[in-house]
Structure 1
Amino acid sequence: MSATPAISAATVLRLAVPALGVLAAEPLYVLVDTAVVGHLGALPLAGLALGGTMLAVVTSQLTFLSYGTTARSARLFGAGRRDDAVTEGGQATWLAIFVGLIVLGLGELFAHPIALALAGDPAVADAAATWLRIALLGAPAVLITLAGNGWMRGVQDTVRPLYYILAGNLLSAIACPLLVYPLGFGLVGSAMANVLAQYTAATLFLLALRRERAIVRPRWRIMTAQMALGRDLILRSLSFQICFLSAAAVAARSSTAALGAHQIVYQLWVFLSLILDSLAIAAQALIGAELGAERVARARVVAWQITRYSVALGVLLAALFAALAGVLPHAFTSDAAVLAEIPHAWWLFVVQQPVAGVVFALDGVLLGAGDTRFLRTTTLACALGGFLPLIWLSWAFGWGLTGIWIGLTLFLVTRMIAVVLRTRSGAWAVAGA
């Protein structure tokens, strides 16, 4: 009996490379934004750090609009039902609009009280809330973009989303320094540029649905099913965001310089995580399609094949950022106190990358299979049992950024053990559309 053939590397790259562009575009823009605002001083940088983290918490809680839609669309696409796969995207877009308007309203009401509770420092809270209230105007557009990415990945089209995201972010990257400096808006200009990017991309995704004739009235049965899958993904995301918000809050209570340093290293961590996630996106689309077509053995082969690619990429990234340790932080700030804090997090950030390669690849496999209950449970356990306690112990005992980043390393290692064991078990590989 012949061995099950692997998917060609060219097929993986065809999906992963454009997905890398999509995933990297947003954090790359945030890094540009951080560099622009960082030269305004420590207070605006701290405001961006806290406000940006709060916005990321809100939008990351709703990534089921992307990942859940990919899982559902990919199975339908693999079963030869492309029109139904696109319909999933249209209904996810309606859901994005409804939820986005709710997020906008609640965010405008509670931005300042939450910022003050997290920062402790009224000046940092004021800066963060000012940035966030403007950035939240783009919330519906952010969620439309998530839904658009979801259905397009599901039908294995990762090229058009790249064009759409790049159009928005390139326009915004040009506008950001102009708004911040010569036009004199300062930190507010950063938020204005963010909104410009989001609505540009969202408009392009809506036009794509129109061309597919998939903009039809809301179908509550489909949206209810999407929300049921989203429940587990929301709880999973919530565990991430409680930890990351706690990390920002502890860093803020250490010093303004510590919060600024955490912002720089954390945004680099997000950037590299999403680079690794490009292979996970390929895994989601391919695994969903293989299971939808009832090719279970092939799905298992693809799972480990993409994991090997991801580990190799993680090793490469670790080596690169180890070499850049003495140079890259200066691109983001000239503040001596912030630069002095960065090494406390930097080397832990570097050694995490090969571990993250395993975690992100197998997360993609299990998300593509729709194995969201397992991901929810294990992520909650690793967050509440490892990451979160170490963050607050860092505050209690004055461990600073070192303690925070040791917590993140433990979080990754425990998740790696969980997803490797689950993938080896084969329990996730359930066939059918």
Structure 2
Amino acid sequence: MTTRAPDRSVDREILRLAVPAFLALVAEPLFLLADAAIIGHLGTPELAGLGIAGAVLQTAVGLCVFLAYGTTASVARQLGAGNLRAAISQGIDGIWLAVIIGMVTTVVGILATDWLVGLFGADGRVADHASDYLRIAFLGTTPLLVMLAATGVLRGMLDTRTPLIAAVLGNLLNIALNFALVYGLGPLPALGLRGSALGSVAAQVFMAGLLLVVVVRGARREGASLRPDLPGIRAAAHAAIALVVRTLTLRAALMVTTYAAVQEGGETPIATHQLAMTVWSFLSFVLDAIAIAAQALTGRYLGAGNRDATRAITRRMVQWGLASGVVTGLGLAALSPVLGHLFTNDAAVIDQLAPVLLVAAIAQPIAGYVFVLDGVLIGAGDGAYLAWGGLAVLVVYTPLALLTDDLVWLWVAFAGGFMLGRAVVLGLRARGDRWMVLGAR
């Protein structure tokens, strides 16, 4: 069986998946944007505490992004090969793996909160705020990971609309709960930073439940078992090892960047870096919409044994990634002088943020190229190369980041050392054919 992808249909197929994924990914970082906007007006120490807590939590959850990416690729391969029941069964295994990892991460994270915050060298009010937020936020780890795995199942089935609906409803709930619990609304007390964490956890539980309902209905329709299958869970965990290493290198680079910002001393660089990284994450998710389409379509066409369609879609998605990066870069450059006012009243943070965002704007086309090729290779199951490539880039970038003594130059190192290094590593791989392994496995 082969699946043709005529040139005229390539854009339509990409857009059919990428547009809902784009909207869902725009909604997803609104968790952080809403938290930053609401917390930023409480004060700079609270915002700096949120920055440290966010870096820790995003690392813990980000290491498990394979639950979405790996599940998307494996489900899409089975779908391309015509094995619908097997596709859903692999997705169920991924969800059970998410439950196990989430429960362990929650317990360990809560017990290690003070130690994790202490790694950043922060003290005083900033450390207290970070610990308060993080202990509560870790309660949302399991629903977050279940949400990742369920989203991966649906994307692998070429359904990006359901995750969009869940993201929109969940983020609306998150904004409402955060505002009500942070500042107090009616009978609700003003809980400050703790209220923001509680609101986010509640919204995450809601989103995970909504996605689970859809996946369970599909499993019952196809006769797939919902019970834990230990061999299947072990197989999913084994296949994820390379992606975990790949993700670990990415998160380590972001942690190194945050650490370097903290070492500059004072609350202003930490708060400025938090806002800049929040904006960067927002735009990264926007660009990653094409990468999500890449994961699903690459897995589908390789599973169907269609090498030519895989190459054609890869070429077109790279063009989309570059073009999207140019658009987001121009938009960010235009807004860089005024974005700071949306998040804080601190004049020092606002002044320092503008040049940092300008550097981030220049790096956007590189980011678009990197995210697309990363999605292609994930969809192809080329995790081993991604892991080794990520380690190589991390080794080069770390000393560049730690040697900087200015936040703007730190972001120059991030754009030129980390992102450009990833572009070289991924581009070299994509030019060859070794990653294009055909078949359902």
TM-score after normalising by structure 2? 0.94
Query: In the comparison of the two structures, how many residue pairs are matched?
Result: 427
Q: Is 2:98–2:142's contact at 8 Å kept on the other side of the alignment?
A: yes
Match of 1:98 in 2: 100
What displacement does 1:207 show? 1.1
Partners of 2:412 and 2:243 in 1: how far apart? 24
Task: Give distance in 2, aligned partners of 1:341 and 1:285.
Answer: 40
| Number of the residue aligned with 1:43 | 45
Aligned-partner residue type, residue 385 of structure 1: V
1:167 maps to 169
1:263-278 matches, cutoff 5 A = 263-278=274-289
Structure 2 residue runs of 5 or longer lacking an equivalent are none
Q: Which moved more, 1:74-83 or 1:409-418?
A: 409-418
1:216 corresponds, among 196, 213, 226, to: 226
Partner of 1:302: 313
Residue 232 of structure 1 corresponds to which residue in structure 2?
Answer: 242
User: Quick check: 418-427 or 305-314, which moved more?
Assistant: 418-427
Pair 1:420-2:427 in alignment? yes
Which of 299, 317, 323 pairs up with 1:288?
299
Alignment match, 2:401:
391
State the partner residue of 2:119: 117
- 2:359 touches 2:412 (CA, 8 Å); kept in 1? yes
Q: Residue 243 of structure 1 is aligned with which of 253, 257, 261?
A: 253
Q: Is the 8 A contact 1:239 1:384 kept in 2?
A: no
CA distance in 2, matches of 1:162, 1:72: 21
Shift of 1:136: 0.7
Give 1:344 deviation, angstroms. 4.1
Shift of 1:4: 7.4
Greater shift after overlay, 368-377 or 112-121? 112-121
In structure 2, how many angstroms separate the alpha carbons of the residues matched to 1:21 and 1:196? 22
SS at structure 1 position matched to 2:390: helix
Question: What TM-score do you get using the length of structure 1 for normalisation?
Answer: 0.96
CA contact (8 A) 1:382 1:411 kept: yes
Is 2:263 the counterpart of 1:253?
A: yes
CA distance in 2, matches of 1:108, 1:120: 18
Distance 1:289 1:20 in 2: 20
| Structure 2 residue 71 is the aligned partner of structure 1 residue 69 | yes
Q: Tell me the distance in 1 between the aligned counterparts of 2:20 and 2:89.
A: 23
Q: How many angstroms apart in 2 are the aligned matches of 1:185 and 1:297?
A: 57
Q: Distance in 2 between matches of 1:161 and 1:265?
A: 26
Q: Write the mapping of 1:306-325 to structure 2, written as runs, cut at 5 A.
A: 306-325=317-336
Report what 1:409 is aligned to: 416
Q: What amino acid does structure 2 have at the position aligned with 1:125?
A: A
User: Over aligned residues, Cα RMSD in angstroms?
Assistant: 1.4
In the TM superposition, residue 66 of structure 1 has moved relative to its aligned partner by: 0.5
Query: Amino acid of the residue matched to residue 196 of structure 2?
Result: S
Question: Could you tell me which residue of structure 2 aligns to residue 202 of structure 1?
Answer: 208
Secondary structure of the equivalent of 1:118?
coil
Q: Is the 8 A contact 2:360 2:411 kept in 1?
A: no
Instruction: Please give the per-residue CA displacement for 1:77-102, whole angstroms capped at 9, x wherever unaligned.
Output: 00111121111111111111111110
Asked whether the 8 Å contact 2:323–2:365 carries over to 1, the reply is yes
- Residue 225 and residue 330 in structure 1: after superposition, are their counterparts in 2 closer, same or farther (change >3 A)? same
CA distance in 2, matches of 1:320, 1:404: 18
C-alpha contact 1:209 1:215 (8 A) present in aligned 2: no
- The equivalent position to 2:367 in structure 1, one of 352, 356, 366, is 356
Inter-partner Cα distance in structure 2 for 1:14 and 1:210:
24
* 8 Å Cα contact 2:34-2:175 kept in structure 1: yes
- Quote how far apart the aligned CAs of 1:175 are: 1.2
